[in-house]
Structure 1
C-alpha cells in the first residue's frame, strides 16, 4: 500500500479558452479536477506514493480520469467503474480576478454512489496518512458513511488523518448541517487544515488562535490555518501542555487563478510531515506550492516536482509583514 491514501470525486474539467462569460465561450480545453485528486497529484510529484480511491462512470470521461491518474503514477487500483451513473464534470471560465466561475454537473454522479464496501478490500496497514476533505462526504449519505469508516480504519492501523474542511454549501441540505458534520469529521482527525474564513465559519471564532483552540480542545493534534495572501499559521498542544505556534509569510507571486491553491498547500504540509521537516519549513513549503499553483489556470498542472519547488524557493521572495 502507498504512503498516502485519499478518497474523493474526480471530475473532468472544461476550461474556457477565452475570457468571457461561460454562456459565450465556444471552445474549451479538457483537464481534470477534484480537491483530493489535486492533493494526490501534488504529493506524487514530490515523490510520495499515493493510492486514490474513487468511482467513475463506465464512460469515456471515466477512462480519461483513470488514464490521467496512471500517467501521474498514482495507484488507481481502487478507482472503480460504475455502469449506473456517469463521471462528473465541470466548466470553468478564465478570469483576471483570481476566483473563476465554475459550473458543476455532479449530482448523482458515479462517485456519489460509493459505499463503505469499497474499503473492504483495501489494506490500511502499511499506509502513513489518510487525507480527506469535506467535499466527498457531502455528496451523499453513503459517501459520508464511507468517510467515517475510512477514518476508523486509518486510526486502527496507526495512520495519521489529515482533514481539509473545503466547504461546499451547495452540496449540503443546510448550512447548519454542513457545520455540524464537518466539525464531527474534524474532531476525529489528527490535523485540520482550514482556511481562515472557513475556520471562522465552522467555529464562530474571530481569531486564528481561537479557531485552532476550538479544535485542539476536542483532541485534534495540530491545526494549520491558511491565512490567504498573508501566509499560514500552525498551532498545537504539546505533551507538557504548552502551546507551540508558528507563522510563515506567503510569497510575492502574480495571481492568475486561485483554484487549487489550498490543495497545493495541503500537499506541501503533508509531504513536509512525512519528511519530518521543522514546522516553519512545513508552512514554507505549503505556502510555496500554493503560490506556484495560483500562477496557473489549471487546478493542478502547476503542482511542482521537487526540483521545481526548490527553484521557486530560490527565486521568489516572501512578503514582508
Structure 2
C-alpha cells in the first residue's frame, strides 16, 4: 500500500500473515506438548537436556511469533473494519439502486395512466357523439381476440350493436347486454363486419376480422389483423392507406379510424376474383385495452359531457 505507516503491514497481506502465524503456532504447541510429555517420563538429567535443546530450537521461533504479535497495530484492525464498512456500503448502494429503479418504473407507469386518462377526458369532451365511458372487467383467454366484457349495461343505456371505440379508433360493437355489464365483439372477430372507406381513394368496402386460432389470434407480424374486402378491381389501393368507417352500414358513424392497409391480397392485375382484398392492421392495440367508450348517439347542440 502506497504511503503505509512505518511498522504496519499493507491490508492486503494481513489475512495471509495471520494464517501463517496460526499454522506455525499450532505446530510449535504440538511439538512442545509432545516434548513435555516425554520429559515427564524421563530422569531429571534427561529433562534438563531436553529443556536446554528445546530452548535452542524453539526460542527463535517463539521470539519471532512474539514480535509479530507486537507489530500488528490497532491501525491494522482498523483497516479490516474499513474494508467491512466499504463492503457494507456497496451492498447498501446496490439495494438503493434497485429501489430507485422500481420507483422510476412505477413513476413511468403512473405517468402512462395519467396520459391515458387525459386522452380519454379530451375525447369525451371533444367528441361530437354522446358516449358512455366503460372499463374492461373481463376477458376470456379462449376468446381473447374475439370478445371482452365491460362494466356498463342496460342500466346505463347500453343496447346491442352500439359502436365501441377508444380515442385511437374502433374497438368493435356491443353484443349481449345485461343490466350491469355487456359483451363487446371486437372488430378482429369474424362476426364483426364494418362498412369502411379508404381515405386516399374514397373506395368503399367491408372490414371483417380474420378470426382466431386456439384463442391466440391470427397474427400478422405479431399482431391480430383484419381485412377489407369487396373493393372494386379498378380501385387504386396500396399499403399505408388509411381505412375509416363509412356511413353505409348504419351501425358505425362515419370517420372513425379503423386501421392501415399493410398488404394487397387480390389486386387488379389478378385474373381471378370479382373484388380486391387487402390486409388491415388495426390502429388500436387489442392486447392493452383497459377503458373504452360506447357511442350512444349524437350530441345535441350545446350538449356537454
Is TM-score (shorter-chain normalized) higher than 0.5?
Answer: no
Query: Rg larger in 1 or in 2?
Result: 2
TM-score range, shorter chain: under 0.3
Write 1 or 2 for the structure with the bigger share of strand: 2
TM-score by length of 1: 0.24
